[in-house]
Amino acid sequence: MNKKITTSALEKLGLKAEPRVHEDEFYFDVHTINKGDSTLDVVTSYKTNDLFIDQYIDFNGETLKGKHIGSFQLEALIKMM
């Protein structure tokens, strides 16, 4: 993904923030939703100076690859869970 879904958009879709994960030169924000037997995580990575690096989506432990997924597509995926 190269465009970030904002934190407020993720929370509006029902995803809950997990504790921030810190590494030496970067950190991750993870937002999660569990529905039925499915889990969806949106992971956003930043450099320590808060510069956005990347964002990806894990669905049941598998990273979704391919085209950019925006908040509209994410909402549809959550509805299908």
For residue 65, the model assigns a pLDDT of 86
* Residues with pLDDT less than 50, the chain: 1
For residue 67, the model assigns a pLDDT of 79
Query: What distance, in Å, lies between the first and last C-alpha atoms of the chain?
Result: 21
For residue 8, the model assigns a pLDDT of 95
Three-class DSSP category at 26: strand
In whole angstroms, give the CA distance from residue 22 to residue 36.
30
Greatest pairwise CA separation for the chain in angstroms: 37
- Domain spans of the chain, in order of start: 7-80
For residue 6, the model assigns a pLDDT of 94
- The model's pLDDT over 56-67, given as tens digits with 9 standing for 90+, comes to 999 999 999 877
Neighbouring CB atoms inside 10 A of 11's CB total: 12
For residue 80, the model assigns a pLDDT of 92
Whole-prediction pTM: 0.89
For residue 40, the model assigns a pLDDT of 97
In whole angstroms, give the CA distance from residue 50 to residue 40.
24
